[in-house]
Amino acid sequence: MTLINSDNAPPATQRWLAETLRLHEAQQGPLDDSQLTASVAMADLAPEQCILRRAQFLARDQSWLNALKDWKKHAGLLCFLLLFLAFVSGFLSALAVLGETTGPINLFWAITALLGLHLATLMLWVFSSISQFAPGGLLGQAWLWLLAKLPASPRNSLSGQAALGILNRSHASYWGLSLITHSLWLAALLGVTAGSFLALALRSYSFNLETTILAPETFIRAISIAGWLPARFNIDIPDADTIRATLGNPEQGEHIRRIWASWLLSMLLIYGVLPRLLLSGLCLFLFRRRLAGFRLDLKLPAYTTLLARLKPHSQPANSKDQPAPPSLPASHAGSYAGELITGSRQLILFELDQTAEQWAQPNLAPLAKVESREQRHQVLQQLQQAPVERLLIVCNRQLSPDRSTLNWIAQASWYARQTTVLLLAQADSSPDHERVSSWQHSLIDTGFTAAQLYLDKEPAVRWLTE
């Protein structure tokens, strides 16, 4: 087992690590990565790389990588153990079938005993692959079950969960479990072959083909059909004469016994070992390819949230603007101290879209509407020439008070002995406490007192007309 280093770990290990940490954070809450986000610029990294980099950073003390390594070791050991057991049981079953028999060996009987279960489970594997029942074969499932039963630290079992998650998401688990199933069978069949070879090498057997109802031609055809494949590998198969000589006659010459012994072994190799070897190879290839195709699922909530933080889609830029001065030059409210016509009144509608009729009441002072630049100048000039005793300025309180408005109101107040401001609400106004209070604050800052401010039309008009 090579030591895994977080800096040069293969991408697959890095992804495994990231998935393990995702599961850990889902259970235990987020780990602290503030040092990383402060030090490493994620700018040029692809989204997945950002997450992998973070995982490497969090696992920099090797303990997480050791947990992965341990899990891998456990899984490997379990696999090795099962392979060993499979080989031994194959070996023993071969000895049991051939073993201490004193009489002649029934060839077809022996072949069925040695290869029957293997062929039946191979069928079952094909069937389960189609039907999705125990996908990957029962042996693979057994390995998985045993693996889950092994005692493990929390980190270890998290690594295992992450590994299974990766296998499932990448659709590699089917091929992985199949690989285990076929490898175990391969080991078992190698055990069978080895056991058979040992028995055939060290003991003297005679062979027999027996039948009660079948014709000799059936055997000849069956053996020639079964021999087609071995023939591709230049393996001699018994010819028709040999078969006839063996049929029902266990007393054969040395030559014929040797033919049958090699035929038996070749059957085991070609129909036992070879298919499992090929299938193991195929599963290994597909397993690796699927696994190599695995990428972190960035749609997972954990990763989406993480990426929004590691690779923000907006960030504040350094403001190069000069600091704002504490205040800007502004006019202050005042009052006219000079001479004026007693009883003179003035009503001003400031930026208020109301008609004169709405304000047509007896004794009400002349009305002026102020909005544009020209109106502002004109009304100020008029006041300057003829200051008034009482001035009521009506503002639309739905608008925001701005500097130019406040300046103008302050300037207008210079030409009246007394000035009040009515903050008028339009008929269809929605609640506007905040706007009203900002008007009040601004006007008080400008130099008015709270007593000079009205919120209702009635008292303001009364004040102006009395």
Partner 1 sequence: MSSARSQHSCKPLDEQLKMPKPEHNQPLKIAIVGHTNTGKTSLLRTLSRDQRFGQVSPRPSTTRQVESMQLMIDSRAAIELFDTPGMEDSIALLEYLEQLQASDGRRLDGPERIKLFLQQAEAGKRFEQEARVLRQLLHSDAGLYVIDVRDPVLAKYRDELEILKLCAVPLLPLLNFVRADNAQEQAWRDTLARLGMHVLVRFDTVAPALDGERALYTTLATLLDRHRDTFNAIIASHEQDARQRHQAALTLLAELLLEVAACQLRTAASPPSVLQQAIERLNQKVRQREQHCIARLLTLYSFSASDIETAGLPMIDGQWQEDLFAPETLTRLGVSVGGGAAAGAAAGLGIDLMLGGVTLGTAATLGALTGGGLQTLRHFGQNLRSKLTGQHILRVDDAILRLLASRQLLLIKALEARGHAATGKVYYTQPDQLNLSIWASGLPAVLQRARRKPRWSKGDDGDPGRHQAIESLIRTLQEQLN
Exactly one of 321, 339, 357, 466 binds partner 1 (CB under 8 A); that residue is 321
Residue 203 in contact with residue 103, Cβ under 8 Å?
A: no
Between 278 and 308, name the residue whose CB sits nearer to partner 1.
308
Helix axis angle, 173-202 to 107-131, nearest 10°: 180
Q: Is 311 in the site for partner 1 (CB under 8 A)?
A: yes
Residue closer to partner 1 (CB basis): 35 or 426: 426
**What's the min distance (Å) between Cβ of 149 and partner 1?**
14
Least distance in angstroms from the C-beta of 326 to partner 1: 10
Nearer to partner 1, 338 or 431 (CB): 431
Q: What is the closest distance, in whole angstroms, from the C-beta atom of residue 319 to partner 1 in the complex?
A: 5
Query: Does 37 sit near partner 1 (CB under 8 A)?
Result: no
Left if phi > 0, otherwise alpha if psi is -120 to 50, otherwise beta: which for 248? left
Site for partner 1 in 149-208 (CB under 8 A): 160-169, 173
295 in Cβ contact with 231 (< 8 Å): no
Amino acid 23 reads L
Is residue 434 a contact point for partner 1 (CB under 8 A)?
Answer: yes
Residues 360, 427: Cα–Cα separation, whole Å: 18
Residue number, 69 or 376, with CB nearest to partner 1:
376
Shortest separation between residue 26's beta carbon and partner 1, angstroms? 6
Supply φ then ψ for residue 201, to 5 degrees: -75, -40
Of these, 402, 456, 459, 462, which contacts partner 1 (CB under 8 A)? 402
Give whichever of 289 and 403 is closer to partner 1, judged by the CB atom: 403
Nearer CB in complex with partner 1: 97/162: 162
DSSP-derived secondary structure for 96-135? HHTTT--S-EEHHHHHHHHHHHHHHHHHHHHHHHHH-SST
Q: What is the rounded CA–CA span in Å between residue 107 and residue 75?
A: 39
Cα(414)–Cα(417) distance, integer angstroms: 8
Instruction: Tell me the angle at which helices 107-131 and 63-97 cross, rounded to the nearest 10 degrees.
Output: 150
Binding site for partner 1 (CB under 8 A): 23, 26-27, 42-45, 160-169, 173, 298-301, 304-305, 308, 311-317, 319, 321-325, 328-329, 351, 353, 371-373, 375-376, 396, 398-404, 407, 426, 428-430, 434-435, 438, 441-442
